[in-house]
Structure 1
Amino acid sequence: MKRRHFAEGAVVAALAQAVAVPAHAQTRPGGAGWVTSWAASVHGPYPVGNPSAQPEQRFLFPSPPDGARDQTLRLVLRPSVWGRRARLRFSNAFGTAPLVLDGVHAGLQLGSATLVAGTNRPVSFAGTGSVTIPPGGQAWSDPVELPFAAEPASPLLAGRKLAVSFHVAGTSGPMTWHAKALQTSYGTAPGAGARGAEEGEDAFPFSTASWFFLDALDMEAPAGTPVVLCLGDSITDGTASTMNGDDRWPDVLARRLNAAVPNRVAVVNAGIGGNQVVGPAEYGPGKPFPGGPSALARLERDVISLSGVTTVVWLEGTNDFSRNGNASLEAVRDGMVEGVKRIRAGVPGVRVVGATVTSALGSSSAAHGHQGQDENRKALNTFIRDGGLFDAVVDFDRATLDPGSGGLRPEMIPESTTGGPGDKLHPNRAGYLAMGSSIDPAAVLPVRR
């Protein structure tokens, strides 16, 4: 298997050109500002979506229409960069009732639902311990000090995970969520009350492979810290990679960049399994779709409104050309042109990178793998490579294609999450490793002007 590798020196050289403060950066006195360190693009309401390796949820959420009821969730996530202070964004984007949260805490995960002793910190909202988020709304927390991150670039923090705990007061109603976390999180039984201050695991018997309500984490970082946001579908979200393995292609890219300059570049995943560029035409709590709202419909929430974004890498199109999407090549191409235009208007100075779409030829999925889909995919890739729309191109098709079959390379097909032969649509861990390793750092890092 041939891969393009880029020396550490290339990473350092590219980073040296990425130190200018972006025009849209939210900067604090002293040369620090908020940057997005983690995100989970939301859709909903639960249970409409495409989770992977999901445990039985009926004990955690007995009634999906009622959602969470007087219980505490402990969500586990991996910040891309660390800072001495953090803030959290909670979303009720697809709820139909006010969402009341209290007892919010953030601490360093030790293992399972247990936290490192002494790291759990209370989180406030406008100086109070609770927040009410209206249907369709969102709320940022106040900044919370993280004493254990006093040295953010310490190698002892690299790859560590944050546990965010919060109590849903009363009944939430339909839940805004991110189905495919590929990360185990935890919850109490309904009616258990506010247990987020506890550092042990006894109150959290139930597990989930999804994230609920929480959709962004900011860290305070040096001004000009690059934020590379990866916008896409299940192949960015990580289907067929390993559960709790953090080996999606954005994870691979993040480790490569931070190996050269520790804690200096954030890489954020904005993928949703089943997502499309232009479909569905309608989306909302009363008319959900497993792939979430279209990329065009979610740009403001999932890209433009996030803190400090300097680069967007966009990998989508395969679901538009599936039997679930049935979109024309012209519609997807025009959608990409419109999307790039809106991203550039909303994030001044942003670098937008196009990623070629990987093959699904011969897929065992009923909606994928047909010849028409592959013909449209190839034509879209030609446009991405040669159309002049993007500032740079990442060629994932070249990194994963088996020239003999026209599909994925054989070693990239077996499923890494739950085992099995794979579906010839989603690359496995080997495929994501090849994709993340094929990216030239200079393509995704901002250039000082």
Structure 2
Amino acid sequence: MRAVRAVLPVAALLLTVAACQSAPAEATSEAGGVVTWAASADRMAEGVAGRSYRLVVHTSVGGTGVRVRLSNAFGDRPLTLDSVYAGLQKQGAELRPGSNRRLAFGGKPTVTLPPGHTVWSDPLPGRLPAATNLVVSLHSPDAGGPASGHWMAMQTSYATQGDHAAEESGTAWTIPTGSWFYLDAVSVHAPKHTGAVVALGDSITDGWQSTSDLNRRWPDYLARRLSTADTEVKGVANEGISGNKVLADGPGQSALNRLERDVLSQPGVRTVFLFQGVNDIKAHTGVTADNLIEGYREIIDRAHAAGKCVVGATIGPFKGWHEWDEAGEAVRQEVNSFIRTSGEFDAVTDFDRILRSPYDRARMLPALDGGDHIHPNDKGMQAMADAVDLNALDCDTIGVNSPSPRG
């Protein structure tokens, strides 16, 4: 199916009412929808009472019935959102005239999220095309304590004081921000059998060293490939967190601890794309290859138990980064050998082979290096996406519900 790139009619986003009660993350995903955008929530700075945010996100798969998921996952008190709108970006904080529509929650315009909870909005009728800049505007009268959000968005959004969520003008939105607040997913209803892939990763997946505001993270390039490919997988959710590890909490909860909320609870997910581990290795915490492999195995088993396929990606080269050493390189090579040869993943993408220099296989190819020797530039991000076998993302999930064989 070719993704629709037509302009969305300004009257297409109209409010509808459908039951949706506030609930924990694992209870809020519903069958029939497909995630079209996502960003992992983390603990942010203190929330500001009376503040509004205008959050710009870029969709992958197109569809109808747009819904957004709001998050108080890291809050320590209830969070009330009394004004939540979805519209289309014209430029900056300005919206396309007639596109901004109020979202409801169980038919009500206001929702209160208990600490640790997320909630899906009711769907909006009308069609949202693929590759669209959707703008979610929200206001909280009582925000306080730790906010939940995604600090490194690589996308400019906007803030202001007072409730300006309903306004389509950008005049009031005078505070630019590089983070997303209280929003962690968007879904649509897509044609039958349409699925999504979730990229579970760290700052490389999050897009650091790619060009801001141009959607040049490697999952963005992957979404563009999928939009024209003969595959049922069309949705792409980017669940990367800068500094994130597989095994230990730090910047964000570990991949093991956030797997349910960030990955398995997302609607329509068919495949988990696991590209993570360099932060475990380079942190000099004594993590061994066996430790990391056991973490991978737990993710594989839990994803398989949920009926998802798992694609494993080899860890890229990082010689030249200030934490690189021979011991860490030895762990990386051992882990990559497991990923390539164990047969425990449903498929493998060899990012190491794509990124490494032929003259020093521990170092990134200079043409793909973003400058710090660990994060690829735009060309590197595109090369990574181009290396993914799209057919592997559409893998058959029959028989993956039992634990992986151990060789």
TM-score normalised according to structure 1 size: 0.79
How do 1:19-418 residues align onto structure 2 when only pairs under 5 Å count?
26-27=30-31, 33-46=32-45, 65=46, 67-145=47-125, 147=126, 149=127, 157-189=129-161, 192=162, 194-260=163-229, 265-280=234-249, 289=250, 291-323=251-283, 325-345=285-305, 347-348=306-307, 350-363=308-321, 365=322, 368-406=323-361, 407-413=363-369, 415=370
Q: Deviations over 1:233-277 (max 9, x none)?
A: 111111111101111111111111112359961111111111111
Partner Cα separation in structure 2 for residue 262 and residue 244 of structure 1: 27
2:25 maps to what in 1? none
Secondary structure of the structure 2 residue equivalent to 1:431: helix
Which amino acid in structure 2 is aligned with residue 437 of structure 1? D
Classify 1:107/1:263 alpha carbon distance in 2 versus 1 (closer, same or farther; 3 Å): farther
Report if aligned partners of 2:197, 2:233 keep a CA contact under 8 Å in 1: no
1:285 maps to what in 2? none
Report if aligned partners of 1:316, 1:357 keep a CA contact under 8 Å in 2: yes
Secondary structure of the structure 2 residue equivalent to 1:302: helix
Partner Cα separation in structure 1 for residue 73 and residue 208 of structure 2: 24
Does structure 1 residue 441 correspond to structure 2 residue 390?
yes
Instruction: Give the Å deviation of 1:223.
Output: 2.2
Bigger relative contact order (CA 8 A; separation at least 6): 1
Partner Cα separation in structure 2 for residue 334 and residue 233 of structure 1: 18
Report if aligned partners of 1:230, 1:269 keep a CA contact under 8 Å in 2: yes
Instruction: Give the Å deviation of 1:138.
Output: 1.2
Partner Cα separation in structure 1 for residue 230 and residue 387 of structure 2: 19
Classify 1:104/1:325 alpha carbon distance in 2 versus 1 (closer, same or farther; 3 Å): farther
Give the share of equivalent positions with the same residue, in percent.
42
Report if aligned partners of 1:319, 1:325 keep a CA contact under 8 Å in 2: no
Classify 1:448/1:92 alpha carbon distance in 2 versus 1 (closer, same or farther; 3 Å): closer
Which amino acid in structure 1 is aligned with residue 62 of structure 2? W
Secondary structure of the structure 1 residue equivalent to 2:227: helix
Partner Cα separation in structure 2 for residue 235 and residue 88 of structure 1: 25
Which piece of structure 1 moves more, 318-327 or 371-380? 318-327
Structure 1 residue ranges without an equivalent (≥5): 1-7, 9-24, 28-32, 47-64, 281-288, 416-421
Instruction: Give the Å deviation of 1:403.
Output: 2.2
Partner Cα separation in structure 2 for residue 430 and residue 186 of structure 1: 28
Partner Cα separation in structure 2 for residue 306 and residue 448 of structure 1: 17
Classify 1:210/1:167 alpha carbon distance in 2 versus 1 (closer, same or farther; 3 Å): same
Which amino acid in structure 1 is aligned with residue 152 of structure 2? K
Classify 1:98/1:324 alpha carbon distance in 2 versus 1 (closer, same or farther; 3 Å): farther
Partner Cα separation in structure 2 for residue 123 and residue 263 of structure 1: 29
Instruction: Give the Å deviation of 1:437.
Output: 0.7
Secondary structure of the structure 1 residue equivalent to 2:142: strand
Partner Cα separation in structure 2 for residue 424 and residue 252 of structure 1: 21
Report if aligned partners of 1:240, 1:426 keep a CA contact under 8 Å in 2: yes
Output the aligned Cα RMSD.
1.9
Secondary structure of the structure 1 residue equivalent to 2:82: strand
Classify 1:261/1:107 alpha carbon distance in 2 versus 1 (closer, same or farther; 3 Å): farther
Instruction: Give the Å deviation of 1:173.
Output: 2.0
Which amino acid in structure 1 is aligned with residue 178 of structure 2? A
Partner Cα separation in structure 1 for residue 56 and residue 42 of structure 2: 19
Structure 2 residue ranges without an equivalent (≥5): 2-28, 399-407
Classify 1:437/1:212 alpha carbon distance in 2 versus 1 (closer, same or farther; 3 Å): same
Report if aligned partners of 1:352, 1:390 keep a CA contact under 8 Å in 2: yes
* Equivalent pairs, count: 371
Report if aligned partners of 1:394, 1:443 keep a CA contact under 8 Å in 2: no
Partner Cα separation in structure 2 for residue 377 and residue 264 of structure 1: 30
Q: Deviations over 1:169-191 (max 9, x none)?
A: 123321111111101100103xx
TM-score normalised according to structure 2 size: 0.87
Report if aligned partners of 1:227, 1:309 keep a CA contact under 8 Å in 2: yes
Secondary structure of the structure 1 residue equivalent to 2:166: coil
Instruction: Give the Å deviation of 1:84.
Output: 2.0
Secondary structure of the structure 2 residue equivalent to 1:183: coil
